Amino acid sequence: MGPEVVKLKTNYETLEQFKRFLENGLEELSMLEDLQGNLIEDNVQSPFYGVYEDGKLVARMSLYPMAIEYDHYFNPPTNYLELWKLEVLAGYKGRGFGSKLVRFAQSFGNPVKTNVRCGAHEFFTKLGFQPVKYDPMRDRGENPYVWIPEGSHIKLI
Ligand SMILES: CC(C)(COP(=O)(O)OP(=O)(O)OC[C@H]1O[C@@H](n2cnc3c(N)ncnc32)[C@H](O)[C@@H]1OP(=O)(O)O)[C@@H](O)C(=O)NCCC(=O)NCCS
């Protein structure tokens, strides 16, 4: 079983934990600015999820619900989840934390979209994601991959 995925609290303790991910050398994946923004806005609906081991945040992601009216990926249009900033701390990779977070996103039963960078294509393909045909106007330099629940009538555009 192992540790569970939890919704991260938007507070300074979480902010301190995020600094470890910064030290990991992946500034572009940092949620620090997002979290600071949320603290300023006092946003109680944190989009951040993570896995703790022995009190230490070892993996995290953000998950944004995307409303059907903003969907440009699926036919028919649908509500889906946008997965961002997935990162597992150095020393904790290869132990199932990354796939645990992705499976958590999939457990809501809606399609999931992410922007795959950093050579993680194989990781996402193993979890049932597929690349989307690049549309420069829509994707604007992203490398979108999507997951559609098994047995769903939803197709890619
Ligand atoms: C990519 C990442 C999230 C994977 O997390 P993880 O906890 O190490 O992965 P898991 O242990 O859950 O691995 C699940 C499977 O994917 C494979 N896998 C993991 N990372 C991989 C990679 N970079 N390339 C190819 N396969 C990979 C594992 O071998 C495992 O395969 P198995 O099921 O056959 O044993 C993690 O390595 C990471 O934080 N990378 C840096 C940031 C990043 O790339 N984020 C993704 C956003 S684009």
Looking at the CA of residue 88, tell me the nearest atom of ligand 1: 39
How many C-beta atoms lie closer than 10 Å to residue 89's C-beta? 19
Looking at the domain 5-156, which fold is it? Aminopeptidase (3.40.630)
Structural domain boundaries in the chain: 5-156
User: Cβ(116) to ligand 1 under 6 A?
Assistant: yes
3-state secondary structure 101-126: HHHHHHCCCCCEEEECCCCCHHHHHH
What is the tens place of the pLDDT at every residue in 8-56? 887 778 878 888 887 555 555 566 677 777 666 555 567 889 999 999 9
Closest residue by CA, ligand 1 atom 12: 96
Q: Does the bond joining 76 to the residue before it have cis omega, within 30 degrees of 0?
A: yes
The pTM for the full model equals 0.91
Looking at the CA of residue 93, tell me the nearest atom of ligand 1: 8
